[in-house]
Amino acid sequence: MQIMKNIRNFCIIAHIDHGKSTLADRLLEYTGTISDKDLQDQVLDNMDLERERGITIKSHAIQMSYNFQDERYTLNLIDTPGHVDFSYEVSRSIAACEGALLVIDATQGIQAQTISNLYLAIENDLEIIPVLNKMDLENAMPEEVKDQIVDLIGCDRTDIIEASSKTGYGIDNILENIISKIPAPQGNIDAPLQALIFDSIFNSFRGIIAYFRIFNGKIHKRDLVKFVATGKEYEADEIGILQLKQEPRSVMLAGDVGYIISGIKTSREVKVGDTITHVDRPCEKAIEGFQNVKPMVFAGIYPIDPDEYEELRSSLEKLQLNDASLTFLPESSAALGFGFRCGFLGLLHMEIVQERLDREFDMNVITTVPNVSYRVKTNKGETLEVHNPSGLPEQKYIDHIEEPYISAQIISKSNYVGSVMKLCIDKRGTLKNQVYLTSDRVEITFEMPLGEIVFDFYDKLKSISKGYASFDYFQSGYKPANLVKLDILLNGESVDALSTLIHRDNAYEFGRKICVKLKELIPRQQFDIAIQAAIGSKVIARETVKALRKDVTAKCYGGDITRKRKLLEKQKKGKKRMRQVGNVDIPQQAFLAVLKLD
Amino acid sequence: MSGIYIHIPFCKQKCHYCNFFSVASRKLQKGFMEALIAEIELQKDYLGNEQVDTIYMGGGTPSLLTAVEINRITENIYMHFNVSEDTEITLEVNPDDISQEKIEKLKETPVNRFSIGIQSFFNEDLKYLNRLHDAKQAVFSVKGLQDAGYENISIDLIYGIPTLTKERWIKNIRSFFKLKIPHMSAYALTVESKTALHWLIEKKKALCLDDEDIAQQFNILLDLMNRNNYIQYEISNFSKEGFYSKHNSLYWLGGFYLGLGPSAHSFNGYSRQWNASNISRYISLINYKEITFEKEILSEKQRYNEYIMTSLRTVWGCDLEHIQNVFGRKYRDYCLLQSEKNINEGTMVKKGNKLFLTTEGKLFADGIASGLFKI
């Protein structure tokens, strides 16, 4: 076992907007990795969408050099995705490090997501360096937030570094602490190769590029390597380190962080958490913690124009090249024709995919009501995985249905606790734990069905807590549930794309609300449209969109012509974004009406 | 064939439903007149050599103009444009402006057609609309002008007013028949944004409209007019043979027109432009010799869309051959394909090479037209 005393591998744990990306930029600047700010702001977030939303969707890594007390150190910053949907990826990035900067916004204090990622880091024995960011802001409350940090990680108050990544205050101090406090990586250079894949990206010329951290052994260019979980073997066409550009190397050793290019064509072959070893001298066991990431949320995606089905397929295939967690299978709907049932890590992931389809591929799609993955136990003792309400077997074959549960952590100001609890209980949650982090900040843990989260939980939580509550979750297993299939009928015809599986106790209220919402969203047509919610053959709610009695401009003279033409052109565009089901025109957003109830 | 529209942007008071540009103060009327005369000269080449067959003074309230002012406007137009001998010269008038004395004065002008803003022969409806005249003045304005020898008269009636019952609507139409007027424009009351009516209804200070009533009154109108041999030559316009408004027809048949005055619109076949809706700025054109206007150059698709939108409203119909000649075969085929659904559901018929709205379809003219649009 050797100690690579001049290497430090670390990540940054922070809530969205707490300044992670700006801090990363600042570190790159102070270490001379980038010369000045003429490069794009926030180098690490390099997808447009990421920059706009201010979050990191995919993790990346970058290597810096820093001189400290006449020694040259290599610092590998491994970036982590910043959203609950990607917690497994975060855990693998964390596993590749020995230390973490815990960045807290001095004006906002600790948020739920920071805590769950922090726990992951502590579980992985990472050295935590607490940083109080945004100290330049007038409304910073350093003493209060320091209390929170001390309570949370039990550090010494003086260990907390005050900083402002905006002004550069405290950055040198952070760099010195990284070197003096974070342990250098250890490993056996002569042992069989053992490297952890913590991320991958797609490059249209070179295929999939996997990012790894070597724990033991060494890798040479041209080595024959094997990915343990997939069992696939490759030749290492190119290996190297990650600076602003990829820098090829001929050999890399335990403790190093870098990339490998080996002619891999699809992202599915590169699984985050997998172990790279040598074909002829494999390691005894793989690095622990690998999981096959499974989608948690499913929804149908259909082209608005049915002729664009093949185009949608090729767009999804291209998306999947750099988003391995997206899954899709062809499905057909009586209402919408041919489309795909897609699996997502969570709701944000779903939104991102939908937006990327629109922006990068100019695809106009309908996304149907999302649902989770249900386990249906049949009378014959079989277990079926059902990802779509219409895939449910007939009632008489069902013994019972199980649904996925999550453990949800919510941190809120104490004055909102009452309403947060009510919301969770309304969503069939069970209170598991309640801890006061400080006198006015509470961490509440609920066990609740994931199916309740995919609807409108997050928006509601934000609104009842005036945006203060933060939320994180992990899956905690399956439990039997009393679920019913709620169908929506338009003029007597069931629209399968609007069906949902819902707990029996909530079905009536839910059915009523969705009928009201659809009435709002479906434009009046030349006939009455009956909107009904039904369980089996029993109608439980009804609304009517009254027929349009007239649609004609009274005056059409000189000045009216331009104005009216523009109006009718707009109408025509709107119509192009609608889907006709039976004889009823349904706008795109109606298919997601359940997400916007109340 | 071409026309000139003159917008007179002054009113004694604003009608609650009106969204045309006008002000209820006449202090700028003198300056406006000077600017208008200047604009006539500035725009003398707009219509090229097209002969002017119609001059139309609309508003606002053109009956606020004196005979002297009207003559000054027409004389200046004659001076700068190629005006045909039998030009239709229409003046929009409000019944409350029409006295015996006013009629005598008007006889000194070349105006040969009157469009009277009657709207209803019942005081309750007139009050709802915030009109200044009453039922008696309404009848007098028609009779007075007829007695003075004017035959080419049109009146405006509005239906769908919440105070207007079905019975009263029938009575309004019967009054029109009784007065032997050859032309009527009948408009469904429409709540336009930024009007007093919109605000009043929003604040529940005025009764709101009922689509069902509007549709019913529209059907009554069509039935009665048809039975009395009036031709519905456009959705809102009815006329005896020989009394079609030349000016209105211009808008629907693609004729060129020059609009003078604030907010007035002009069209020369490939572009539309409209003057700024601001009287002070308009008056400044006297000094700067420059008109403030906005302009849009129409694309092929936009010209096609406009043709669909206007032609379908008329008795002449939407001519597929015209579409083929002007826009090409692709447009014709597209139009025909899109209209299939309407023909099947009975809102449209195809006779020879022309598409027409059926009585049923006329109530849905906008949706049907936009369905045929190209985007």
Distance CA A327, CA A295 (A): 7
How do residues B321-358 score in pLDDT, each as one tens digit?
Answer: 999 999 999 999 999 999 999 999 999 999 999 999 99
pLDDT at A58 over 60: no
pLDDT at A41 over 70: no
Q: Does the beta-carbon distance from A558 to B5 stay under 8 Å?
A: yes
Q: Does the beta-carbon distance from A550 to B370 stay under 8 Å?
A: no
Q: Does the beta-carbon distance from B235 to A552 stay under 8 Å?
A: yes
DSSP label at A598?
-
Among candidate residues B297, B289, B293, the one with its CA nearest the CA of residue B275: B293
pLDDT at B308 over 90: yes
What pTM was computed for the model? 0.70
Among candidate residues A161, A44, A142, A147, the one with its CA nearest the CA of residue A93: A44
- Please, where are the H alpha helices in A6-86? 20-30, 48-53
Tokens of A578: 């609608």
Which of A525, A560, A565, A575 is most worth mutating to test chain B (most B CB atoms within 10 A of its CB)? A565
How do residues B174-207 score in pLDDT, each as one tens digit?
Answer: 999 999 999 999 999 999 999 999 999 999 999 9
**Within the 214-243 window of chain B, which residues sit less than 8 Å (CB to CB) from chain A?**
214-215, 218, 234-236
Which chain A residues contact residue B259 at CB under 8 A?
A: 558-559
Q: Does the beta-carbon distance from B187 to A554 stay under 8 Å?
A: yes
pLDDT at A17 over 80: no
pLDDT at A53 over 80: no
Q: Does the beta-carbon distance from A562 to B5 stay under 8 Å?
A: no
Contacts of A61 (CB under 8 A, 6+ apart): A76, A77, A78, A79, A198, A199, A211, A242, A257
Q: Any chain B CB within 8 A of the CB of A580?
A: no
Distance CA B140, CA A231 (A): 99
**Radius of gyration over every alpha carbon of chain A, rounded to an integer in angstroms:** 27
Tell me the nearest-neighbour CA distance from B260 into chain A, angstroms: 12
Which chain A residues contact residue B267 at CB under 8 A?
A: 558, 561
Tokens of A386: 């059902």
Which chain B residues contact residue A575 at CB under 8 A?
A: 370-371
Q: Any chain A CB within 8 A of the CB of B251?
A: yes
Q: Any chain A CB within 8 A of the CB of B294?
A: no
Which domains can be identified in chain B, with CATH numbers?
Answer: 2-252 (3.20.20.70), 300-370 (1.10.10.920)
Tokens of A274: 């997998």
Q: Are B370 and A569 in contact (CB under 8 A)?
A: yes
**Looking at this protein, which amino acid is placed at residue A489?**
L
Which chain B residues contact residue A556 at CB under 8 A?
A: 234-236, 251-252, 309-310, 313
Locate tokens 């050999």: which residue? Answer: A251
Tell me the nearest-neighbour CA distance from B363 into chain A, angstroms: 5
Q: Are A522 and A587 in contact (CB under 8 A)?
A: yes
How do residues A224-275 score in pLDDT, each as one tens digit?
Answer: 999 999 999 999 999 999 887 789 999 999 999 999 999 888 888 889 899 9
- For residues B228-254, give the mean pLDDT: 96
A42 vs A147: which has the higher pLDDT: A147
Distance CA A164, CA A104 (A): 11
| SS3 assignment, position A58 | coil
How do residues B75-102 score in pLDDT, each as one tens digit?
Answer: 999 999 999 999 999 999 999 999 999 9
Distance of CA A303 to the CA centre of its chain: 23
Q: Indicate the pairing of strand B113-119 with strand B153-159.
A: parallel
Q: Are B59 and B93 in contact (CB under 8 A)?
A: no
Distance of CA A286 to the CA centre of its chain: 26
Q: Are A200 and A211 in contact (CB under 8 A)?
A: yes
Q: Does the beta-carbon distance from A561 to B369 stay under 8 Å?
A: no
Write the secondary structure of chain B as one string of H (helix), E (strand) and C (coil): CEEEEEEECECCCCCCCCCCCCECCCCCHHHHHHHHHHHHHHCCCCCCCCCEEEEEEEECCHHHCCHHHHHHHHHHHHHHCCEEEEEEEEEEECHHHCCHHHHHHHCCCCCCEEEEEEECCCHHHHHHCCCCCCHHHHHHHHHHHHHCCCCCEEEEEEECCCCCCHHHHHHHHHHHHHCCCCEEEEEECCCCCCCHHHHHHHCCCCCCCCHHHHHHHHHHHHHHHHHCCCEEEECCEEECCCCCCHHHHHHHCCCEEEEECCCCEEECCCEEEEECCCHHHHHCHHHHCCCCEEEEECCHHHHHHHHHHHHCCECCCEEHHHHHHHHCHHHHHHHHHHHHHHHHHCCEEEECCEEEECHHHHCCHHHHHHHHCCC
Nearest CB neighbour to B272, from listed A552, A562, A569: A562
Tokens of A464: 């009842």
